């Protein structure tokens, strides 16, 4: 009787211990935000996405330190950071727990092609900006930003943040299984998964105790085929293992343990085994890939509001819907609720794609006006433009208006396009009005403030030019150029006085 009680107690202790750690992480996050709200400044965000600042501008932030610590620790003990310290994983685990309480069973989707998404996301988020900075040839001085007063400047607003948690942390879990966002979208998971392959901390098996009961696979919240891996390799080698230790705690014979052992990269002779549970054909994998691409590109920066990480979540939702259509599981007769949900989601993605197509046409035509716009700022273009030169501006303005009409959202990009169209047709006041509308949406938009300031100078309004240029934040890329123009405007004014 005591042995049975002990076997039941071990899983409960492990679950409660990890839940407590994740709750403490959430409380620490809230305390950090509260400190900033109360004092006006705080330690810069500890979010790994802040490492983008180093990739783009060679700025060392606490977020970069957190990402580096996570990677280095993973090299030794595996992906404990993911399983025990990630705030988004806490939301996913909470959602999975709630679904179990509601007796809603979710079947994990094990896809080969979707595992490439985190790798591509990591490359796009960090390596592409890093390459662009190095390749640009511009010199960046290594700087640090430990404390900030603009805590939320790189994060979306509260509404988008809540939607991100609901989609990435809840809805994706309902559709694709627990930790699906971690496995198939999280860009940090790509680098941590790669580091895990070199980790000496592994879940290993004592063959003399293992009776192949498969309980380890059943309880694994990371959707790893534990029993198959320990049979083939003597340890868990799947890089998606987040070291929650549920398999260790639930093993009825205590055959599993976490130990320092041979890294996964030295155990595998080939790629990790493909699961025999719910196998996908390559045609289904192709449908998943196409569905993901459609959902991601249809929603990324939609309305100027959908951030990269949320678009990845939408991509997974779209991929699941495409697979359901492929399998012909969308039917009013089978499930009315599921049918309505799929129709609603399909309508959303189709509408988003329509909006994005109009926005792409807007940007295509507007990009053709670059030389004329820069020429005006250099004082080389006289206004109004001749009708034959106004074509690209008018085309861009048409698609900007169409984008606004079908999306019911006055994106700042649309106002920007309309502003330049007004200016080039000779309506200076219209330009200023639209630029201030953009700044109402993004008060720290240095590029717009710079262009508005140069416009005032070209128009002979030196005081207004200096006033708007002085508002550009010192951390903005346009700050130094704006200071040069302020000196130039002041020097020009002194020359006229003499």
Residue 78 and residue 66 share a domain: yes
pTM: 0.83
6 and 141 share one domain: yes
Whether residue 88 sits in one domain with residue 184: yes
416 lies in some domain:
yes
Strand 143-144 with 59-60, pairing: parallel
Q: How many CA atoms lie within 13 A of 241 on its CB side?
A: 33
Cα atoms in the 13 Å half-sphere on the side-chain side of 327: 13
Task: Give the C-alpha separation, 462 to 460, whole Å.
Answer: 6
Do 361 and 437 belong together in one domain? yes
Q: What is the pLDDT at residue 5?
A: 47
Tell me if 272 is assigned to some domain: no
Last residue of a domain, one of 347, 371, 397: 347
- Picking from 214, 234, 266, the residue at the C-terminal end of a domain is 266
If asked whether residues 135 and 72 sit together in one domain, one would say yes
In a domain, 271, yes or no: no
Do 179 and 207 belong together in one domain?
Answer: no
CA Rg value for the chain: 27
Residue 332 near residue 363, CB atoms below 8 Å: no
pLDDT at position 91 is 87
Q: Tell me, what's the pLDDT at 14?
A: 79
In a shared domain, residues 186 and 203: no
168 and 224 assigned to the same domain: no
pLDDT of residue 407: 80
**pLDDT reported for residue 423:** 95
Domain termination residue (choose one: 442, 458, 488): 442
Please tell me whether residues 41 and 70 are part of one structural domain: yes
**245 shares its domain with 313:** no
How far is residue 261's CA from residue 201's CA, in Å, rounded to a whole number?
Answer: 6
- Give the pLDDT score at 275: 46
Report the domain count for the chain.
5
Please tell me whether residues 25 and 138 are part of one structural domain. yes
Range of the domain at 459: 448-498
pLDDT value, residue 408:
66
Q: Is residue 482 part of a domain?
A: yes
Residue 460 lies in a domain: yes
Q: How far is CA 94 from the centre of its chain?
A: 21
* 461 shares its domain with 497: yes
Tell me which residues of the chain have a pLDDT lower than 50: 1-5, 273-276
């Amino acid at each position: 009787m005591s042995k049975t009680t002990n076997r039941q107690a071990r899983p409960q202790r492990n679950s409660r211990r990890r839940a407590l750690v994740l709750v403490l992480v959430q409380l620490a996050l809230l305390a950090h935000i509260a400190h900033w709200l109360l004092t006006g400044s705080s330690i810069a965000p500890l979010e790994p996405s802040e490492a983008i600042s180093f990739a783009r501008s060679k700025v060392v932030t606490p977020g970069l330190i957190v990402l580096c610590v996570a990677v280095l620790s993973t090299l030794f003990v595996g992906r404990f950071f993911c399983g025990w310290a990630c705030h988004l994983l806490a939301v996913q685990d909470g959602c999975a727990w709630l679904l179990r309480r509601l007796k809603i069973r979710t079947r994990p989707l094990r896809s080969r092609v979707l595992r490439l998404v985190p790798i591509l996301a990591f490359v796009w988020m960090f390596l592409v900006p890093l390459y662009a900075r190095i390749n640009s040839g511009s010199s960046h001085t290594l700087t640090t930003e430990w404390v900030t007063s603009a805590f939320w400047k790189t994060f979306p607003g509260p509404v988008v943040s809540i939607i991100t948690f609901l989609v990435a942390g809840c809805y994706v879990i309902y559709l694709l299984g627990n930790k699906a966002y971690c496995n198939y979208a999280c860009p940090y998971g790509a680098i941590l998964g790669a580091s895990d392959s070199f980790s000496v901390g592994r879940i290993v098996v004592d063959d003399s105790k293992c009776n192949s009961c498969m309980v380890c696979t059943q309880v694994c919240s990371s959707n790893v085929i534990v029993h198959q891996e320990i049979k083939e390799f003597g340890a868990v080698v799947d890089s998606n293992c987040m070291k929650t230790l549920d398999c260790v705690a639930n093993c009825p014979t205590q055959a599993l343990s976490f130990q320092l052992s041979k890294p996964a990269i030295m155990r595998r002779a080939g790629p990790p085994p493909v699961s025999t549970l719910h196998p996908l054909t390559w045609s289904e994998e192709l449908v998943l890939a196409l569905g993901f691409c459609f959902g991601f590109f249809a929603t990324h920066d939609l309305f100027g509001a959908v951030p990269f990480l949320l678009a990845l979540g939408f991509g997974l939702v779209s991929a699941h819907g495409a697979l359901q259509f492929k399998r012909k599981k969308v039917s009013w007769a089978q499930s009315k609720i599921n049918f309505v949900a799929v129709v609603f989601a399909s309508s959303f993605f189709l509408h988003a794609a329509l909006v994005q197509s109009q926005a792409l046409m807007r940007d295509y035509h507007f990009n053709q006006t670059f030389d004329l716009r820069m020429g005006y700022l250099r004082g080389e273009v006289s206004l109004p433009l001749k009708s034959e030169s106004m074509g690209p501006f008018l085309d861009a303005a048409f698609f900007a208006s169409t984008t606004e009409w079908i999306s019911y959202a006055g994106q700042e990009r649309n106002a920007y396009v309309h502003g330049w169209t007004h200016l080039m047709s000779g309506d200076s006041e219209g330009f200023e009005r639209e630029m201030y509308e953009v700044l109402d949406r993004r008060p720290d938009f240095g590029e717009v403030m710079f262009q508005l300031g140069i416009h005032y100078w070209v128009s002979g309004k030196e005081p207004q030019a200096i006033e708007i240029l002085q508002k550009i934040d010192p951390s903005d890329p346009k700050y130094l150029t704006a200071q040069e123009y302020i000196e130039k405007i002041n020097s020009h004014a002194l020359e006229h006085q003499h």
